[in-house]
Amino acid sequence: MTTRAVLRETAYAKLNLALHVRERMADGYHRLETLFAFCADGDVLEAEPADDLSLTIDGPSGEGLEIDGNLVLRAADALRTHFGIERGARLRLTKNLPVASGIGGGSADAAAALRLLGRLWDVAIEDVQASGIASELGADVPACLISRTCAGSGRGDVLEEVSAPALSGKPVLLVNPRVAVSTPAIFGRWNGRDGGPLTLAEPVTPDPRWSNDLTAPATAMAPEIGEVLAWLGEQDGAEFVRMSGSGATCFALFANVAARDAAFAMLAQNQPGWWLLPSALR
């Protein structure tokens, strides 16, 4: 009996090292300037050949997620339609990242599906990138498709890769206090003031002038975010602390792995209900 190969792809957790909100545009979206970085860890997507498309979801954050309308299946359908593919795939998503937490989530899963099914169905990643499918699925999907450090403008979907060797391999600790925040509600609370341009000089290194202009409204809605940021900022070896996206996940870049792991161990003991991910930047 022939065993069909199972392909795997990581849906890398996305971080906004900076997120400057410049204005609200006529279409209701906000014009942003952001710096994306990606962790080595995330959700995991598997695929094997099949006649039809199907998806199962498991993992610590998978309970209650809907199959119908899931971005993984939407990405698969869009890829098949655009390239005229008649084959299917049996997909399995292991959901490790918390849902709606500012670190990519569904966007990263959709991007992983495009990369993975491109391999399964013999579609070159360059063709997938050029197809426009990613931006149609969501503003963060083009950056997640690349999953490398890049600057984003427009809705965050106009991308420019940047040189950032100092960030590659940088130890990072992600912390989510397990509070739900709504992205539309956070943007709705934005104060309307131009956050100013995001200035990047290559090679890119963390700059204390970088801000996340959504931190104040997110903290107003969920004060736990402020607690996480304050705690991370007090840890030995923490060099750069921010909230990612519209929250509620916060992160700290550390000077070394030992300092990151010490912070992780302390927080795991003191806040067992919080979600934690020790990782490194890609």
**Catalytic residue annotation:** 14, 140
How far out from the chain centre does Cα 185 lie? 19
Q: Answer yes or no: are the C-beta atoms of 53 and 118 closer than 8 Å.
A: no
Between helices 106-120 and 71-83, what is the axis angle to 10°?
Answer: 40
Burial 202-235 (b: 16+ CB within 10 A, else e): eebebeeebbbbbbbbbbebbebbbbbbebbeeb
Q: In sequence order, which ranges of 121-256 are alpha helices (DSSP H)?
A: 125-131, 133-137, 141-146, 183-188, 215-221, 224-233
Three-state DSSP at 269 gives helix
> 3-state DSSP: the chain helix, strand, coil percent, rounded to 5?
30, 30, 40
Spatial separation of the C-alpha atoms in residues 137 and 142, rounded to whole Å: 9
